[in-house]
Structures are given as C-alpha cells and as structure tokens.
Amino acid sequence: MSNKKVWPGSTQLLPIPAVLVGCGNGREMKYNLLTVAWTGIVCSDPAMLSVSIRPERFSYALIKRSGEFTVNMPSRKIASALDYCGVVSGRDHDKFNECSLTARPGETVQAPIVAECPVSLECRVSKTLELGSHVMFVADILAVQVDESLISNKGALDVRQADPIAYAHGGYYGIGDFIGGFGFSVKKKDGAR
Amino acid sequence: MSNKKVWPGSTQLLPIPAVLVGCGNGREMKYNLLTVAWTGIVCSDPAMLSVSIRPERFSYALIKRSGEFTVNMPSRKIASALDYCGVVSGRDHDKFNECSLTARPGETVQAPIVAECPVSLECRVSKTLELGSHVMFVADILAVQVDESLISNKGALDVRQADPIAYAHGGYYGIGDFIGGFGFSVKKKDGAR
C-alpha cells in the first residue's frame, strides 16, 4: 500500500470498453461509425446502456435525429480501424469503406452493425442528457448480434475468442487472463471448509 | 466473418470495469463497499461518470442520502475481495473488515476510498435517474487518488502495473497486452508514406 498522490478530477476509470458506434440509415442519413469509450451499462431490466458524444461530432446529429445506434465490439484484428474511426470525421470520410468494414442493417434498428465485430448491440435512445462537453444518450438494448462461431454448446459467449478491446489512460489493451466467475470468492471459501 | 445469431437485448457490453464503490461516512452512516460493473464515463468536461445500483442494495440508501461515493479500481491482488463485496450485503457484513481492506476518508468527500486500490475516484452525485431495476447516479469526479508508485517520471499512470480488473459476460479478467495509444492507426499510416 503506497502513498497516494491526489490529482484533480479526471476521467481515470479503467479499463473501459472501446467500441464502434454505428449510426445513420444508409439512405438520407449515410452510414457512419464513431469510436467511443464513454459508454457503460446503466440498467439490467430493461437492458440499457449509455453512450456519451460531443455534440460537434458528425454522428451526434445522426443519432439525435434517428434515435438509433449500434454498439459494436471490435476484436483485436480490427484495432487499427477502431482507432482510425475515432480520429477522422464522417463529414469527409466514408469510414466503412476506408476501413474495409461491412455495414449490415440491424434486426430491430436501421442503424448499421459492423459485420466484422464479434458482438453488436442494437440500441434505441430513451433519454438524452446534456452534461457539458458531452451529451449522454441513454438507450434500450433491443437486440444482440453475436458471431455464431463464438457461441458454445451451452449457449454462452466465448469472451476470450471475441477478444474485445479495452481503453485505459489513452491506450488500447487486449483482454487478459480469466480470473474467476462472479461468486468465485465464496465458492473458494466453501471448498476450503 | 461468421454468421450472426440474434439474441434478445441484454447487457453484453464488454469489457467493462469491475470496481469497488465506497460509501457512508464512518459516523451515522457506516462505511460500506459495493461491487459494481454498471459504471462508465459520461462526460469529459466536467469529468463525470455514472454508477447504477439496485435500490434494494444497502449502499443505495447511503449514496442517496449522502450524495457521495468513491469508485475504487482494485488490482488483481484483491480480486477475491472485489468479488466478495458483490456477493454479501453491508446490512449484515462489515466488508472492509472481512476483506482486510483499509478505509480512508476522501480528500473532497466523506465517503471512504479503499487504500489498497491503486486508483480511486471521489464522486459527488449531480443527477439521479430511475431506469428500471437500477437507479443511475450521474456524478462529478472531484478528485483522483493514485498510488505514487504507479506514476512515471512524466506524471503518467502505469496502467499495466495498476493491473485493473475487467468484467465480461459473468467473469473477471485481467488487462491484456498494450495494443497502441490513441491515434496509433494514423501514425502508422504516416510512417508508411
């Protein structure tokens, strides 16, 4: 236990998800992608998440207007695309095309999922909160699309194979080794009795 | 790119942070800890995060009443405590004591930080949203406490050494290898020119 340094408040939550948000409808609103780490689960029932976006981003107006988006979790294979979609703007870049990613309409929303991402969440905005630099979209998760190859016989998702990307303090990281399942501390104690 | 299976909406965002939320004030509200994965950054300026908690949890009333909490990121060394604090209730357990964790008052809030956690965020609630099973607390991050031993000469946090824990699909994971810093995809392209 070392001494503590006290820093002013900042966004040092770690690790957090690094995802591709899909928006637009492929018609009057062209498909676009935005890299987001300001996202998290906010409710279990109904299943909901939040995504926070700066209002000056091109994707903001698309989501505001359509009320729909997708959250796509890239594997390490497309980490470079994940980063690129956070650097350039959809105003003057066709990110799907430039990154060789495939847009497919969602099952429940018109926003596109990224076919190359192992897991995608289809979301519909239910609340919008203006917080400062960012606007928070709170959204229902209507459907989950998962690569069939990642689903075990028991119907569970193979997280290690999905190989999702975490963001921490300005860098991208892979997921590490499995530490235990929820409740492992109690099971261990039980076993030791 | 394999075929997709479509599941009903669920909380399959991954990886997400697995943290210890500290609450109470050590006086009429005893210190308590709660394990939370439903958390995320929601704004950069001001720095804000959200934490969602079921209203039936013991910690809920403490946070509702005090308007304060801390978010503590455990390292793998205390992964068992992290799990344990999500399994038992503060109504009939002194989790700090049972897990041999040290409560220290925050610099800006009365809620306790966990001294054994490499990074802690001190938070004050600014908005409360009832969403369903969970209530979302949106909070300003007032201060960050970091182990001095994890800060480099340049003042940056050593993420690998902080060794934070991620949660994904019911399991805890370590953080994996470094993939790149924000903007690495463009730097690579520049280098290739």
- Whole-angstrom Cα distance, residue A128 to residue B127? 13
CA angle A177, B35, B175 (to 5 degrees): 20
Task: Please name the member of B16, B83, B121 whose beta carbon is closest to the beta carbon of A17.
Answer: B16
What tokens were used for A164? 């999702």
Backbone angle region of B155, left / alpha / beta, with phi > 0 → left and psi within -120 to 50 → alpha = left
| Tens-digit pLDDT profile for residues B94-141 | 999 999 999 998 999 999 999 999 999 999 999 999 999 999 999 999
| Tens-digit pLDDT profile for residues B12-34 | 999 999 999 999 999 999 999 99
Query: Residue B2: pLDDT band by 50, 70, 90 thresholds?
Result: confident
- Whole-angstrom Cα distance, residue B37 to residue B47? 19
Report pLDDT for A190.
55
Q: What is the predicted ipTM?
A: 0.96
Please list, in sequence order, all residues whose beta carbon lies within 8 angstroms of the beta carbon of residue A44, skipping any fewer than 6 positions away. B11, B38, B132, B133, B134
Of A38, A44, A47, A134, the C-alpha closest to B36 is: A44
Mean pLDDT, chain B, rounded, equals 95
| Tens-digit pLDDT profile for residues A163-172 | 999 999 999 9
Whether residue A145 and residue B5 make contact (CB cut-off 8 A), yes or no, is: yes
Whether residue B171 and residue A186 make contact (CB cut-off 8 A), yes or no, is: no
Report pLDDT for A192.
47
Whether residue A144 and residue B183 make contact (CB cut-off 8 A), yes or no, is: no
**Stretches in chain A below the pLDDT threshold 50:** 192-193
Write the burial class of residue B154 (CB in 10 Å: 0-12 exposed, 13-18 middle, 19+ buried).
Answer: exposed
Report the 10 Å Cβ neighbour count for A94. 12
Write the burial class of residue B148 (CB in 10 Å: 0-12 exposed, 13-18 middle, 19+ buried).
Answer: exposed
Report pLDDT for A103.
97
Q: Which helix (H) or strand (E) holds A190?
A: helix A184-192
Give B92 to chain A, closest Cα distance, Å.
Answer: 16
SS3 B43: strand
